[in-house]
Amino acid sequence: MKNYHKFQSLFSLLFLFISISSFSSDLDIKSNTIKVRLVATTISSFSPVDGSAGSTVTIVGTNFTSNSIVKIGTTTISSANTRFVSATELQVIIPCGLTSGLVEVDGVTSTTVFTYTTALVSNVLPNISYCVGSTVPVLNLNGLPSGTQFSWTNSNTAIGLASSGSGNIPTFTAVNTTNQPISGTIRITPSTNGCAGIPKEYVVTINPKPILNTISSQQVCKGTTIANIDLTASSPLNGSGTSFTWSATNANLIGLSPSSGTTSPIPNFITTNTSNSTVTATFTVTPTYDGCVGDAKTFSISVEPSSVSGTISGPGSTCAGIAAGTLTLNGNVGTVVKWQSSLDAISWTDINSTALTLSPGILNSPTYFRAIVKSGTCSEASTASYLIPINALPSVNAGVDQTICAGNSVILSGSGATSYTWNNGVTNAVSFSPSTTTTYTVTGVGANGCSNTDQVVVNVATTPAAPSAIAQTFLIKIIFFALFLLC
């Protein structure tokens, strides 16, 4: 085949000139001369010196023919892509898939290399990640040579982008309905005049929002050690790669320093509380995965003050059989769990009351009382015992019952106490004249302030009325009759 082309080229370089000088009319040849001149094809230049599929290259030289064969690199240009303009000019339309190389016409090669430009995507296309719900911006594609067109495909429409398209990669909203990252491979194919160039790919990953595991709130007593609090996520990737930020209100009031951080765990600390009420710190934790911020969650640590029992105030003593005064708890921290009573301050009996005050009722013996106080989860605290002494009642005596005649006076005097008060306006040891039979009550108060009562009855006898005259005559007759019988 190579010898054939050389042979063909040799004859195409020859120009045959045959000159017949003269002929006689009777075919007597006067002279017969054949002259042959060999003429070679030449290439002086071509332009442009580079191009892509569909571009036109003009070759300038000599001795071109309509049958001239053109090669560029290793590719023979088809006759359909070759245009004979003149013996000094050829035009070639560059086909797809050409390789760079020397230009050859009828076996004659150029000294300059023609550079074939393959359609390229000139954008730098690194793999990229977006958060679910975010807007993926349009990707404006650039390529070589100028005028390059693009088509593209997407391997996973679940990310929110169509399966294919042409031109620039359009903007879209990142979609991910799972709890794990999903990806789509975008393949971009450049083309020039219908000739595909070198494709380029990049991967778009749509990350989900990380899901923070719930952290339980705690309620503890002052002085409790809080262990490290691990921050974890359930997704994506079982929490692998998720980072956390946290902050806490009132952190210093419960003994935590610092009040915020960007690492897990939240460090351990010993709780403090300098107040008499519960102090609560609220923690806010936010997870982040590859720049995607998940929903924040909160939890709290409530620190209760230590239980403080306080003190009891109330009556100093009470009288036997008389309801004692009210006991009041003061200065306690926490709530009253119960009250207790005891006759010896050793064995205690529970009283079902959680109020700050207690009414013991009627007491007949000296009795101790105390309150049990508890602050939240803290240990109980007990007040000092409070004793209510019992004072004996005086033995009050109002005296014996009396009978007097109407109009006579009587003196009532109590005994067994230090002072006496009578009802019905009677004054102790002062005479008075009652008009009717009456029961008198005396209240005696002893030296210990306890009182008692007694009663006395004063009977008032009335004077009989004088008999009438008839009654007197009848009476005299009875007397005389009685004397007559006796005599």
pLDDT, tens digit, 9 for 90 and up, residues 289-320: 999 999 999 999 999 999 999 999 999 889 99
The tokens for 376 are 């939240």
* CB burial string 386-410: b at 16+ within 10 A, e below: bebebbebbebbbbeebeeeeeeeb
Task: Give the pLDDT score at 466.
Answer: 53
| Cα gap 127→290, rounded to integer Å | 13
Kindly give the pairing relationship between strand 431-432 and strand 410-411: antiparallel
Three-state SS across the chain? Answer: CHHHHHHHHHHHCEEEEEEEEEECCCCCEEEEEEEEEECCCEEEEEECCEECCCCEEEEEEECCCCCCCEEECCEECCHHHEEEEECCEEEEECCCCCCCEEEEECCEEEEEEEEECCCEECCCCCCEEEECCCEECCECCCEECCCCEEEEEECCHHHCCCCEEECCECCEECCCCCCCCEEEEEEEEEEECCEECCCEEEEEEEECCCEECCCCCEEEECCCEECCECCCEEECHHHCCEEEEEEECCCHHHCCCCCEECCCCECCEECCCCCCCCEEEEEEEEEEECCEECCCEEEEEEEECCCECCEEECCCCEECCEECCCEEEECCECEEEEEEEECCCCCCEEECCCCCEECCCEECCCEEEEEEEECCCCCCEECCCEEECEECCCCCECCCCEEEECCCCEECCCECCCEEEECCCCCCCCEECCCCCEEEEEEEECCCCCEEEEEEEEEEECCCCCCCHHHHHHHHHHHHHHHHHHC
Region 144-168 average pLDDT: 96
- Confidence band of 464 (pLDDT split at 50, 70, 90): low
Position of tokens 């509380």?
273
Answer yes or no: are the C-beta atoms of 372 and 332 closer than 8 Å. Answer: no
Task: List pLDDT tens digits, range 137-150.
Answer: 999 999 999 899 99
Largest CA-CA distance found in the chain, in angstroms, rounded? 250
For residue 271, the Cα-to-chain-centroid distance in whole angstroms is 23
| Cα gap 483→471, rounded to integer Å | 18
Task: Give the pLDDT score at 8.
Answer: 40
Residue partners of 379: CB distance under 8 A and separation at least 6: 221, 306, 307
| Cα gap 285→216, rounded to integer Å | 12
- Confidence band of 477 (pLDDT split at 50, 70, 90): low
Region 79-96 average pLDDT: 96
Question: pLDDT > 70: what percent of the chain?
Answer: 87
| Cα gap 378→305, rounded to integer Å | 8
Answer yes or no: are the C-beta atoms of 148 and 190 closer than 8 Å. Answer: yes
Predicted confidence (pLDDT) at residue 15 exceeds the cutoff of 50: no
**Which residue did the predictor score with more confidence, 469 or 341?**
341
Task: Give the pLDDT score at 85.
Answer: 97
Predicted confidence (pLDDT) at residue 343 exceeds the cutoff of 80: yes
Task: List pLDDT tens digits, range 215-252.
Answer: 999 999 999 999 999 999 999 999 899 999 999 999 99
Listed range (269-273, 367-371, 447-451) with the worst mean pLDDT: 447-451
Predicted confidence (pLDDT) at residue 461 exceeds the cutoff of 60: yes
- Confidence band of 462 (pLDDT split at 50, 70, 90): confident
Average pLDDT, the chain: 89
Region 166-187 average pLDDT: 97
Listed range (27-31, 116-120, 358-362, 417-421) with the worst mean pLDDT: 27-31
* CB burial string 309-334: b at 16+ within 10 A, e below: bbebebeebbbeebebeebebeebbb
The tokens for 82 are 């070759």
Position of tokens 């050859």?
104
Task: List pLDDT tens digits, range 34-55.
Answer: 444 456 899 999 999 999 999 9
Task: Give the pLDDT score at 17.
Answer: 32
- Angle, CA 260 vertex, CA 254 and CA 261 arms, to 5°: 130
Residue partners of 87: CB distance under 8 A and separation at least 6: 62, 63, 64, 65
Task: Give the pLDDT score at 316.
Answer: 87
Region 201-209 average pLDDT: 97
Task: Give the pLDDT score at 20.
Answer: 30
